Every structure is written in C-alpha cells, then in structure tokens.
C-alpha cells in the first residue's frame, strides 16, 4: 500500500472533486459541440480531443498515474505504442489497397 499521510489524502479528496467538476463540464461541452454542425473532420477531432482530456484526467488523478512507478509507465508506454499500431496500420493498409 502506498504511504500517504492523512493531510495528503485530504488534499487528494479536493483534487478528486475538482476533477469531477472538470469531467462533468467537459461532458456538457462535448455534447453541446455535437449539436453544432461542424463538418466531419473538425467534429471528430474536437470530440476526440475532449475525450482524451477526460480520459487523461481519469487516468492521471483517479488512477494516480500522475505519480506512478516506472515499471507501470514502461508497461503502458509499450502498450500505447502497440495500440497505435493496431489502430492505424490496418487502416493505412486498407487505404492504399490495390483496387481497380
């Protein structure tokens, strides 16, 4: 178990509440953006940016990634690399597929 003093925990709790507010706000923002007619590319980009911010907030604060150990960082870094490969390499292969 990680060693935190009660003061630190109280401080954490404050952070959690702030993060929660941010998440809620971002949810509302992303929904509102979706009602604007932005066109596909900007809409996708914006939505993914917002989602990534929300995701990072959850990961960094709720999951304490902001102060994690190197082993975990390395594991996740490798995972992230392969995740990106998995997301984009099949796609680019399809896009340059030989077609008549």
- Rounded to 5 degrees, φ, ψ at 64 are 60, 30
For every residue of 19-48, which 3-state class applies, written as one string?
Answer: HHHHHHHHHHHHHHHHHCCCCHHHHHHHHH
- Minimum gap (Å) between residue 22 Cβ and other proteins: 10
> CA end-to-end span of the chain, whole Å?
61
- Which residue's CB is nearer to other proteins, number 66 or number 86? 86
User: Which residue, 48 or 66, is less far from other proteins as judged by CB?
Assistant: 48
Cα angle for residues 26, 39, 88 (degrees, 5° grid): 75
Binding site for other proteins (CB under 8 A): 1-2, 4, 6, 9-10, 12-13, 16-17, 19-20, 23-24, 27-28, 30-31, 33-34, 40, 43-44, 47-48, 50-51, 54-55, 58-59, 62-63, 69, 71-72, 75-76, 78-80, 82-83, 85-87, 89-100
């Amino acid at each position: 178990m990680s060693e935190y003093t009660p003061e630190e925990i109280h401080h954490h709790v404050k952070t959690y509440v702030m993060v929660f507010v941010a998440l809620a706000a971002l949810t509302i923002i992303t929904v509102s953006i979706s009602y604007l007619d932005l066109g596909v590319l900007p809409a996708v980009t914006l939505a993914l940016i917002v989602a990534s911010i929300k995701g990072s907030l959850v990961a960094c604060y709720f999951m304490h990634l902001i102060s994690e150990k190197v082993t975990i960082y390395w594991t996740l870094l490798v995972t992230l690399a392969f995740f990106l490969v998995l997301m984009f390499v099949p796609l680019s292969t399809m896009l340059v597929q030989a077609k008549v």
